[in-house]
Amino acid sequence: ECLLVVLTAAPEWADDGLIRSTSASGDEVSLVLSVPRADRAGLRVTVDGQPVPGSVRVTEAVPDRSVMLLLDQSGSMQGEPIRQAVAAARAFGSAVPADVRVGLTVFSDRVQVLLDPTLDRSRLTRALAGVRAGGNTTLYDAVLVALRRLGSSGARSIVLLSDGQDTRSARTVEQAGAAVSAAHVELQVIQLV
């Protein structure tokens, strides 16, 4: 089931609004919306066109945002899959807003943090140039390493690019999932086929 939440506001700035981050817990959805000249009285929440109870908190601060790209470079990724993954990671780095820090962690037989989250996109490009496929898949261990390197504050996400299943981790899928949930980090998975 899909839930679409629409914030409606004064027309002079409604078209300029930018959703900075989203999160969901139970039946609650939270959005950080960046708008010029925000007016508390002008914001309304609707679901399927119907008004719903909601609260608005106006603040000048925009939360720090960080993304860790988690790239599978195991042997099964040789050839076209690794080329696609690197190209997707480059495209992501070019498209993401300039105020979002982006890092890169790769995994095969072991997990390597090639780049801690940074605003410097040229460092991401250089780190991606060294990605080579080979070895087994330590996916669950890599998720836990990525979580630690993202820190504990701000809006944080992991974007995982992989073609297969874990074959070598010391940790389990349950441990990785519990850690992601406890850290309140968004995990997006892109499966390469």
Higher pLDDT, 11 or 134: 134
Is residue 166 within 8 Å of 140, Cβ to Cβ?
yes
Strands 28-34 and 50-51: unpaired
| pLDDT category of residue 47 using cuts at 50, 70 and 90 | confident
User: What pLDDT score does 92 carry?
Assistant: 95
Higher pLDDT, 121 or 11: 121
Backbone angles phi, psi at 150, to 5 degrees: -75, -20
CA 2 – CA 50 distance, rounded (Å): 15
How is residue 119 annotated by DSSP?
Answer: S
User: What pLDDT score does 15 carry?
Assistant: 43
User: How does pLDDT run across 67-126, given as a tens digit for each residue?
Assistant: 999 999 999 999 999 999 999 999 999 999 899 999 999 999 999 999 999 999 999 999
The H-or-E segment that residue 55 falls in is none
User: What pLDDT score does 46 carry?
Assistant: 77
What is the chain's mean pLDDT, rounded?
84
The H-or-E segment that residue 12 falls in is helix 11-14
Res 10 pLDDT > 60 = no
The H-or-E segment that residue 65 falls in is strand 65-72
Residue 27: Cβ-neighbour burial (10 angstroms; 0-12, 13-18, 19+): exposed
